[in-house]
Amino acid sequence: MVIDPAELEATLKRLKRVQGQIGGIITMIEQGRDCREIVTQVAAASKALDRAGFAIIATGLRECLLSEDSEYDAAQMEKLFLSLA
């Protein structure tokens, strides 16, 4: 299944922000910042990454439902969805 990149534009923006957050976390660790600050940023990045994954799965589900010749069935999409849990 190939998803139109235009459908995932917001998700791409979210992933680029996560990429920046990860760079910031690395810098925080290298600077010896407080553990609580680092963990807070890791949690925020993790949540944003989870949301991006759910958005990709939701878009894929929508594509599969609209396409009669989809190579994925409901069980495969469910498995993908649950892999994020």
Domain boundaries, the chain: 8-82
- The 3-class secondary structure across the chain, one letter per residue, is CCCCHHHHHHHHHHHHHHHHHHHHHHHHHHCCCCHHHHHHHHHHHHHHHHHHHHHHHHHHHHHHHHCCCCCCCHHHHHHHHHCCC
Model confidence, pTM: 0.75
pLDDT digits 0-9 by tens, 6-50: 878 888 999 999 999 999 999 999 999 999 999 999 999 999 999
Fold (CATH) for 8-82: Methane Monooxygenase Hydroxylase; Chain G, domain 1 (1.20.58)
pLDDT given for residue 45 in this prediction: 96
